[in-house]
Structure 1
Amino acid sequence: MPRYALKVEYNGAPFAGWQRQADQPSVQGAIEAALAKLEPGAHTIAAAGRTDAGVHARGQVCHCDLAKDWAPFRLSEALNHHLRPLPVAIVDAAAVSEDWHARFSAVERRYLFRLVTRRAPMSLEAGQVWQVKHALALDPMRESARHLIGLHDFTTFRSTMCQAASPVKTLDALQIERVETDWGPEYQFRLRARSFLHNQVRSFVGTLERVGAGAWQPDDVLSALHACDRAACGPVSPPHGLYLMGVGYPDDPFAD
């Protein structure tokens, strides 16, 4: 059966997450339903990562197996037609080998977390960023972030429901930038790793926000990391500021 890689963009607000749910809307369920409109029958797709309820994506990747050969552009156009009016879009499609896997072939995931500091309620960006009403100090957050880069036991920063076999992961990058926007100062946290634990990014950001607010010191983050105890983690940030930005593969199926 021909296999296709799909690059997917979505607003996570109306969904219970990526993973198919029996009684709640999901991104996976929406795409599988669209596939069934093209080729009747049950479809099961696999994704590079399962985003939680409310988390967005610019560059999620999944793959599907179909009965007939499709031109990738025609496949993406047909799927987008059947996905309307849901906030899900297939932004690219590519034919891949039958042993290519969206999850297991991936060598990198990239995330962005957006945090805005302002007093007035968000209107146009509501549901797209985490808003806090107090100012944040950038340099202490950056100093704290350096403690987290590298190979560590991240037990402190993973959900108690995490199903990963090991809490030991390598965080390749955690960069924080302050961007002046028309809607207020926006702090952008960009993270890169081969894989992430459940709630790891949101646990990082919630903890670093406490440093920026002055409630924690940078060394407190190092102590929390070394504690290897979930109770030592700071607050977990809300999901709606988080975006899966991209997935890396040894041979990018979407490269021109």
Structure 2
Amino acid sequence: MRNIALKLMYVGTAYHGWQIQKNAVSVEETLEKAIATVVGHGVKCVGAGRTDAGVHAEVYIANFHTSSTIPCDRLPLALNTRLPDDIVVTRATEVGGDFNAIGSCLKKEYTYRIYNSRIRNAFFVNRVWFYPKYLDEKVMQSAADRFVGTHDFAAVQTVGTDVRSTVRTVHYFDISRTGDMIECRVCANGFLYNMVRAMVGTCVYAAEGKFPPEAVSDILAGKNRTAAGPTSPPGGLYMTKLWYEEAVL
């Protein structure tokens, strides 16, 4: 059996996240159906991460096993003719049998976008967090700096999530502004459920003066979700970069 890694992108607005759901349409289900029609048998995809409902991916990796002999350079076009317009496969690569899109991923980057303007933009609906109250990105950065490093991130995980450990390593959390658009780029070795969106919400609260940026360290140490900021809306979140040892990107 060949192991094929697909590089794709998708707009998550119409989907209930990546993972297959019983009563809702997911990216995984939609992709698996398209692959099955191309290779002639059912497949199970492994995705790089569980993006939530409404979250987007500018870059995403999924892999599947197949007995098909279709050349990799023909797979993207064949799949894209069977996929909706909001999911696009850009590359297919044959990888080693042990490659796993999530298990082989070394680190990930998510970018959260905030449209910080008094007037909303119709073209950004479900693509950004429209936030009309002015935010000082320098204060946000000061708060973001406290997340960098290896910490217990229980304070920015959705309550009730079942994981073995809430310790993660954040490599960077950079916040920048271009005009009215604020971008929050965070890279880590892994993320907890809603972790990025809660981190962004915490930085926004710091910029609003709800607590000083320095308080983020105490919030993390306290491991209490209610002490941190809100979970920001899903539409502003994008998976933007992935790292692998194999050349799949």
Instruction: Name the TM tier (shorter chain).
Output: over 0.9
C-alpha contact (below 8 Å) 2:40/2:68 kept by paired residues:
no
C-alpha contact (below 8 Å) 2:48/2:105 kept by paired residues:
yes
Q: Classify the secondary structure of the residue corresponding to 1:206.
A: helix
CA distance in 2, matches of 1:53, 1:157: 18
Q: In structure 2, what is the equivalent of residue 30 of structure 1? A: 30
Match of 1:216 among 206, 211, 214: 211
Q: In structure 2, what is the equivalent of residue 84 of structure 1? A: 84
Match of 2:189 among 174, 191, 194: 194
Q: How does 1:26-65 map to 2 (within 5 A)?
A: 26-65=26-65
Give me the identity figure in percent: 31
C-alpha contact (below 8 Å) 2:95/2:246 kept by paired residues:
no
C-alpha contact (below 8 Å) 1:130/1:240 kept by paired residues:
yes
C-alpha contact (below 8 Å) 1:2/1:66 kept by paired residues:
yes
Q: In structure 2, what is the equivalent of residue 96 of structure 1? A: 95
Is residue 142 of structure 2 the alignment partner of residue 147 of structure 1?
A: no
Please give the per-residue CA displacement for 1:48-90, whole angstroms capped at 9, x wherever unaligned: 10100000001111101111222222111111110034x1001
Structure 1: segments with no counterpart, 5+ residues: none
Q: How does 1:1-256 map to 2 (within 5 A)?
A: 1-85=1-85, 87-180=86-179, 185-254=180-249
Q: Classify the secondary structure of the residue corresponding to 1:7.
A: strand
CA distance in 2, matches of 1:42, 1:95: 18
CA distance in 2, matches of 1:230, 1:84: 37
- Cα distance, 1:163 vs structure 2: 2.9
C-alpha contact (below 8 Å) 2:114/2:183 kept by paired residues:
yes
C-alpha contact (below 8 Å) 1:161/1:198 kept by paired residues:
no
CA distance in 1, matches of 2:62, 2:208: 38
Q: Classify the secondary structure of the residue corresponding to 1:188.
A: strand
Q: Classify the secondary structure of the residue corresponding to 2:214.
A: helix
- Cα distance, 1:252 vs structure 2: 2.3
How many equivalent residue pairs? 249
What TM-score results when the alignment is normalised by the length of structure 1? 0.94
Please give the per-residue CA displacement for 1:146-187, whole angstroms capped at 9, x wherever unaligned: 11100101110111243321011111000000112xxxx111
What TM-score results when the alignment is normalised by the length of structure 2? 0.96
Q: Which amino acid aligns with 1:224?
A: I
Q: Classify the secondary structure of the residue corresponding to 2:40.
A: coil
